[in-house]
Structure 1
Amino acid sequence: MFFIDAIDLEGLGNRSYLAGGRRTAVAVDPPRDFDQVLAAAARRGVRISHVVETHVHNDYVTGGPELARVTGAAYLVPAGAHVSFTRIPVADGDTVTIDGGLRLRAVATPGHTPHHTSYVLQEQGAPVAAFTGGSLLIGTVGRPDLVEPRLTEQLARAQHASAHRLAAELPDETPVLPTHGFGSFCSSAQADGNATTIGEEKSANAALTTDADSFVAQLLAELDDIPAYYTYMGPANAAGPAPVDLTPPAVADADEISARLAAGEWVVDLRNRVAFAEGHVAGSFNFEADGKIATYLAWMIPWGRPVTLLAASPEQLADAQRELVRVGIDRPAAAATGSPREWLPEGDRPASFPRSTFAGLAEHGTDGIVVLDVRRDSERAAGHIEGSVHIPVHELHKRLGEVPAGTVWVHCAGGMRAAIAASLLDAIGRDVVAVDDGFDAAETAGLNVVSG
């Protein structure tokens, strides 16, 4: 008998796995905060004997080396990957025994990275699951443009070949268990569903239903923006990340918060966007703890800039810290919990700005105002409000001077990114209205939505 437990990292759109038998188990692509992996092993009553990486990750800091050290597990990394720490190099066809008749077989599946390796879990020699990392995903594949621009087309062709190899070697009923693809920017496209098999991918995945030339052309045409912090993830993982420290940060009072703002540091309010719009510390930025805080904060903050976190509760603060260490933002400079009442010097009033909907925008009319679209290029190409200004949210902090004069009505696809953008504009004194609505409502409201 075997088990497979999935460990979801919803903020980053990734999954790690723990798979094993009665006594021992393997951890696949563990997160930096691997206590969840240890907890899963404890619930199963098993010892982690092996930790494996499908590739040197570009989107998060791995917990692999430290998990292996803490548990005494063997640490397996693709042989071709250039790393600075001790590990067991894994080559195509290598097998390791996990528990009794349970074995793990390495399958070279280059494409997402040059040395990417998938692992097929076998019970008594029969495949029972494939951990495909950033190779074959649900309905798509991992993007091939994160390593080196000159290698992108070559890696895209390798992705096609790797997908076909997995499809040829594994039975149709084999579950496909990727690391990326649940909202991760490492995925070349987003697909619906949380589970799939080799057979399902044969009929639905373009890598398996399209010839190589057509697949590569389509894949390269659809590649989206790369989060800026990815630049730092690969080197951190190749060097071997340090252990995490999730103890509470130093507490900042109102005077310290003001001083940090005056020094040009980032003060980030983690509360939901409704609460932030109603009242906040002037100059602070709103990255909701319940949104993709790790992705967007790490994408936008100048790397290494001190950050102070403001949270509604200690629990919200702790959750945000956990999200941020996964992308290398290790220790907040300071933090505070509560509300703007505690964060502002005595006598100061909270700043605020209005919120609205696309119906509200249509009723107001677009004459004499700035409609700012902060979605990505690919989203805007599918449809945008005629006459709107376009600056993707991850570029806005560097391009605030390009926003035309006037009251700014800012929107995205659902409200979260618009709230970030509104806070950036509010912090420099612009009059702003945050459109907190789904973009599908724009045309329904009577706004002129055009494509291209």
Structure 2
Amino acid sequence: MDVVVIDTPQLGDRSYLVHDGVVALVIDPQRDTDRVEQAAADAGVRITHVAETHLHNDYLTGGLVLARSQHAVYLVNAADEVQFERQPVADGEAILVGSLRVKAVATPGHTHTHLSYIVTAGEEQAVFSGGSLLYGSVGRTDLVSADDTVALTHDQYASARRLVEEAACEAALYPTHGFGSFCSSGPSTGASASTVAEQIEANHALTDPDEEHFVQELIANLTAYPSYYAHMSPANTQGPGPAELILPESLDPGELSRRLDDDEWVVDLRNRVAFASTHLEGTVSFEYGDGSNFTTYLGWIMPWDNKLTLVGAREDVENAIRDLSRIGIDSPGTAIGTDPASLASRAVVTSYPRVDWQGMLAGRPGEETILDVRRTDEYDAAHLPGAVNIPLHELLTRIGEVPAGRLWVHCGSGYRAGIAASLLQRGGKEPVHIDALFADAASAGVDLIKG
């Protein structure tokens, strides 16, 4: 048995191509299925089966499209009321994929109908646990319904224990979540590989002997998650179509100006340093960089179904189109270029100050507001005295609460503060972007209140 990992760091997830050298099973494919097809071609194998561990909350699946294009069997839990043809699979059922034996194990917790798959080839075994058992933790249990969270957390505790009982200790463990995805919860380790035996020794779902304590602790440590999650499971129930990855023709300067005049969402992908120094008035800064934060925060903050235009270098725009397709944001407009003044016919170029902690200490009058756009749990752990906390994902809906006057905006790294500064300026406010690591604040001489 060979396992090929198809990593999606932009969303913190992994998909898997599992094969015996001839035929392959794909587990939890992302919507951009060309990566999976290329992995199969590179391995010289034919995809005969595609399986879902659950109806995903953080991305649109490519499972249906991949199964149809490969004429493969599509395995989805029989209990999932989906609106497309699939081969229903149930707890305890075994499927042969070439020389591989694939056993479905019901592991409710992340969702009510979650399945894990134990794949066996001779003496070798691998466990594909989706959003059940992760590296050091488990998938979060509050995405289905607030009313179901307590019961699902109890389920998650039991499922983790059942899964390790069903699998061999030496089995390799391959979760879908836990690599930065907001679908994970608790003290995930950041490991890139693990086994069932290692998790038995280290995973709090398996080491905590008190189920009630585990449930209370996990729920108490759940943090906010992206608002676009609400659209993913319903779309996956319907069966998403193929990703639209073609780069559209760049907008002419007149059309881009019209979109800005109409207050459409025009997103500048350049780095936050360049944006702060010069950008088109009305644009919003979502630095693409390596893409690790881009999709999550744009999907979280932009009002759903708003018309979107991406502005930036060709490579960044192409990558952003792929990334956004994974959460159902298709066919954005594009304006290719990195010189803002040349992209719009009625260009109004503006800027705002950007400083580090020393710059804040030297330049901020004491009465001016410090705006902390980190999550509330981050703020509660430590914050600047007098700082106003409005998490970035709440800023648009709470902008009426933002104090008047100049605003010194910070987050944990500078990334979220850059987005916030651009949103505030777009809303008529006067931001100063503190582009610095919060971890460096104390050493820079900034006073902190610790929770």
What TM-score does the superposition give when structure 1 sets the normalisation length? 0.96
How far off its partner does 1:233 sit? 0.4
Deviations 1:257-315 (A, max 9, x none): 22112212100011111111121111100111224221111111111110011012x21
Distance in structure 2 (CA, Å) of the matches to 1:337 and 1:179: 36
Distance in structure 1 (CA, Å) of the matches to 2:339 and 2:199: 48
Report how many residues are paired.
Answer: 447
Aligned to 1:208: 206
Do 1:285 and 1:427's aligned partners in 2 also have CA atoms closer than 8 Å? yes
How far off its partner does 1:349 sit? 5.0
Do 1:249 and 1:335's aligned partners in 2 also have CA atoms closer than 8 Å? no
Within-5 A mapping of 1:246-395: 246-290=245-289, 291=291, 292-312=293-313, 314-345=314-345, 348-365=347-364, 367-395=366-394
* Amino acid in structure 1 at the alignment position of 2:141: P
Deviations 1:312-350 (A, max 9, x none): 2x211110000000001011144333321322336x452
Distance in structure 2 (CA, Å) of the matches to 1:29 and 1:424: 35
Residue of structure 2 aligned with 1:136, choices 133, 138, 148:
133
Distance in structure 1 (CA, Å) of the matches to 2:449 and 2:193: 35
* Amino acid in structure 2 at the alignment position of 1:206: H
Distance in structure 2 (CA, Å) of the matches to 1:334 and 1:442: 38
Within-5 A mapping of 1:57-206: 57-100=56-99, 102-124=100-122, 126=123, 128-189=125-186, 190-206=188-204
Deviations 1:101-136 (A, max 9, x none): x21111110000001000011012x45211000000
Within-5 A mapping of 1:30-49: 30-49=29-48
Distance in structure 2 (CA, Å) of the matches to 1:414 and 1:221: 25
Question: Which range is displaced more, 357-366 or 81-90?
Answer: 357-366
How far off its partner does 1:191 sit? 2.9
Question: Which range is displaced more, 58-67 or 268-277?
Answer: 268-277
Distance in structure 2 (CA, Å) of the matches to 1:127 and 1:395: 48
Deviations 1:65-110 (A, max 9, x none): 000000011000111111100001111111111222x211111100
How far off its partner does 1:195 sit? 1.4
* Amino acid in structure 1 at the alignment position of 2:246: T
How far off its partner does 1:365 sit? 4.5
Do 2:178 and 2:190's aligned partners in 1 also have CA atoms closer than 8 Å? no
Do 2:263 and 2:282's aligned partners in 1 also have CA atoms closer than 8 Å? no
Gaps spanning 5+ residues in structure 1: where?
Answer: none
Aligned to 1:449: 448
What value does the CA root-mean-square deviation take over the aligned residues?
1.4
**Percent identical residues:** 48
Distance in structure 1 (CA, Å) of the matches to 2:339 and 2:105: 52
Deviations 1:428-448 (A, max 9, x none): 332221111111111112222
Do 2:374 and 2:392's aligned partners in 1 also have CA atoms closer than 8 Å? yes
Distance in structure 2 (CA, Å) of the matches to 1:92 and 1:389: 50
Do 1:41 and 1:47's aligned partners in 2 also have CA atoms closer than 8 Å? yes
Runs of 4 or more off by more than 6 Å in structure 1?
none
Question: Which range is displaced more, 415-424 or 239-248?
Answer: 239-248
